[in-house]
Every structure is written in C-alpha cells, then in structure tokens.
Chain A
Amino acid sequence: MAMLHIVNKSPFERNTLKSCLGHALAGDSVLLIEDAVIGAVSGSSVVAELQQAINGNSISIYALGPDLTARGVKLERVLEGIQVVDYAGFVDLTVANEKTQSWL
C-alpha cells in the first residue's frame, strides 16, 4: 500500500517536510513541489534528513523540475538521490501509488 506524499511548503518556512518524513514508510514516495523544492538543493541544511529518508528508510524522494527551474535552481544542483520529474512524471507517481497524501 505505497503512498505518494506531496509537500509544497519550504522546509525553512514550515515543518511539513519533517512531519511527512516522520510518517512516510519504506516504499513510499515523497514529491517536493512549489516552494518545497528549495529543500532539494545540495548543500541545504535539510539534506541530512532527506538522505536519511532515502538511504535509511527506503523512501523515494522526487522534486518537480518546473518548480526548480522557476526558482533558478539548475538540475545539477539537486541532491544526489533525489529524482527530478516533470508534470508527466508527477502523474505517473500518482498512478504508481495507491494513495496520495498532501502535506499542506
């Protein structure tokens, strides 16, 4: 029963990413969209939590490319292990997971 978690707020602004990562289970996916993509930049101070989720807890992390590009973040600046998807990839994720939960 894999779940897609969608986070849209900056991790520096709200604690939704932290809360989401605390509740996501192995095999789940987390998609960062809108201002949440700021956390995906390598060198950012939330990187450790994301790496722990990816490597420690077997959670897949994705970031929405158009939102990275909007904010001037080049794709090569995204933390290794995070997969960048486009809108079609967003749709694929919602199909691939049985349930979707938005962390507003």
Chain B
Amino acid sequence: MAKKFMYLNRKAPYGTVYALESLEVVLIAAAFEQEVSLAFLDDGVYQIAKGQNPKAVGMKNFSPTYNALGDYGITKLYVERESLAERGLSEEDLMPIVYEDEDDDYAEKPSVQVISRAEMAQIMAEQDVTFSF
C-alpha cells in the first residue's frame, strides 16, 4: 500500500545545501510511487520564491526544477501562510508551479497550496513518514 511521505523544507536556498539536497532526494524517491507531498515553512518558503538568480553568488539556480515536480507525479506543495507573512511575503511572491492532470485531459492545475499553520500541523499528523531538511 502506498504510504504518505512528506518532505519538510525549513531552510532558505543557497545559504546552506539543505534545499538542493531535499529536491534531489525528492526526485530520486519519486520512482517509488508513494504519495508524496512537499511542505515549505519557516525560511523554506524562499525555496519556491519567484525571480531567484544566484549567478552573482556563483551557484546554480535550481528553482526551475520545482516546475518539473509535476512530471514526477508530485502535485502537492504546501506552503505555510504564517511563514510567508512573518517574512513580508505573500502568495504572489511564489513561483506559479503547476502540474498536468492526466485524468482531466492534461489540464494545468496549481501545485502550490497556501495553508494555515493549523492546517499544516494537521497534514503533518496524517503522514506515515516525514523527511526533514
């Protein structure tokens, strides 16, 4: 039976390697056909911020890869509203990541869901396995 796997992302990209490591693990583990979701809270919300450009700090911009998650069957990206607000951000500051719904004539649907801290806690409680980055 498919288990519920959640990848919990709490750190900003580029300052540490956690964000990139998490993304790589997600892509590798996607082959195991489990029910996978990604959660972005605390500084992790910056991982899917629009307009990233780390050229001047000498790093690769891996943010376009989040747009490929739909191809890997990962369609649930939960973002915590309170974490955005604490940082002066809103949903408009996030990349509009979408997936194509095979069961609905490949219609593009949003992958990002901005939810409250209470809802996030609930979703965390429903997981079988949580990987923290």
Contact = CB atoms under 8 A, between A and B. Distances in A.
Whether the complex brings A and B within 8 Å at their CB atoms is answered yes
16 contacts: A12-B43, A35-B16, A38-B12, A38-B43, A38-B46, A45-B87, A47-B88, A66-B57, A67-B57, A69-B54, A69-B56, A70-B13, A71-B12, A72-B46, A72-B52, A73-B49
Chain B, interface size: which category? 20 to 34
A62 to B, nearest CB: 16
B14 A72 contact: no
Interface of B: 11-16, 42-43, 46, 49-57, 59, 63, 86-89, 93
Interface in A4-49: 8-10, 12-13, 34-35, 38, 41-45, 47
A44 B86 contact: yes
A53 to B, nearest CB: 17
Given A45-B86, A69-B53, A70-B57, 10 more contacts: A8-B15, A35-B14, A35-B15, A38-B12, A43-B88, A44-B86, A67-B15, A70-B14, A71-B12, A72-B52
A12 B42 contact: yes
B12 A72 contact: no
Nearest to A77: B88
A74 interface: yes
A72 B51 contact: yes
A44 B49 CA distance: 15
A13 to B, nearest CB: 6
A72 B88 contact: no
